[in-house]
Amino acid sequence: MKEIEVFVQAAKEAALIGGIVLKENFRKVKNESIEEKAEKDFVSYVDKTSEERIRDYLSRRFTEHRIVGEEEGGDEEGEFVWYIDPLDGTKNYIAGFPIFGVSVGLTYRKEPIAGAVYLPAFNSMYWAGKDMGAFKDGKTIRVSNTSDVKFSVVAYGFPSRAKRELDTYWLIFKEVFDKVAAMRRPGAAAVDLCFVAEGIFEGLIEFELHPWDITAGIVILKEAGGNYKMLEKGLKRDIIASNGKIQNFLEGIVSKHIKEA
C-alpha cells in the first residue's frame, strides 16, 4: 500500500501533538481536576485535551477514516480506523512517574498497518509501518536475541481495578517470575510493547486491554521482528507478546492457568 509512509508520518505527527499537551502539564495536574470514570479508572483534562487535538488533526487529514479514542469512543466500522490512546499510563502521569506515552495506530480492514508511540518525558518516538521496519528516533530497532528463559525480562500488567480473574493473574505471575531473570510492571501497555520491540524486555503479558492500548504497539513489535498472541474476551483483549523466542513459554503458562480458571 503506497500510502503507508503517509500514514506513518501522520501517526508520528498526531502522537507529537498529543505529547505536547502531556509535556506542558506534567507534574501540574491537581487531585481536584481528576475524575474517576470507573473504580480506580482515572481521567484528567490532560487526557481529554490530548485526544481532542489528535482527533482534530486526523479528521482534517483523513476525512473518510474512522477515529476511535479512549476518552470519546468512536465508530469502528470502516476500512481505515485510527485508534488513539491520548495518555497511556494515566496513573503514572498523575503520580509523576515518567513512563507514559501517546499511542496512535491505524488499522486497514482490522489489520494494524501503521503506528507511533511518543514518550514525552524522554522525547522519544517509536514508529513503524507494515513492511517498513520499526524505528526509534530515526534508528532501526529489533527485538532481543535472548532465547534462554532464565536470562529473560518480562513485563506484566493488569488493571488495578481487575476483578475478573485476579487470582489467576497472580498464579501466572508467580510461575513466570519463578523461571525468568526478572519481571517488571511499568504500567503502560503501548510503552511496554515498544520496550519489547527495542529489546529491553524479552516478553510481555498484559490483561484487559483495549484496541487503543495496543494497535500502534503491535505494528512496532511485528516490524521489529517480534510475535504476539491476542486473547479476546468481549470488549477486552489479553496480549502475550515477545521476541518470538520465548513466545511458546509464555503462551503455555497463560493457557494453562486461564483454562484452569
Q: In what order do the strands lie in the sheet with 66-69?
A: 66-69, 80-88, 101-108, 111-119, 124-129, 133-136, 139-140
88 has binding-site annotation: yes
87 has binding-site annotation: yes
CB 158 within 8 A of CB 206: yes
Cα atoms in the Cβ-side hemisphere of radius 13 Å centred on 95 = 11
Beta-ladder partners of 38: 41
d(CA 188, CA 92): 8
137 has binding-site annotation: no
Helices 247-260/166-179 angle, 10° precision: 150
As to burial, measured by CB atoms within 10 angstroms (0-12 exposed, 13-18 middle, 19+ buried), residue 178 is exposed
Identity of residue 16? L
The H-or-E segment that residue 222 falls in is helix 211-223
d(CA 97, CA 186): 9
213 has binding-site annotation: yes
Q: What are phi and psi of 58, to 5 degrees?
A: -70, -40
70 has binding-site annotation: yes
d(CA 248, CA 138): 31
**Which grid coordinates are listed for 15?**
502522537
DSSP class of 175 = H
Instruction: Give the residue numbers of the binding site for Mg(2+).
Output: 70, 85, 87-88, 213
Instruction: Give the residue numbers of the binding site.
Output: 70, 85, 87-88, 213
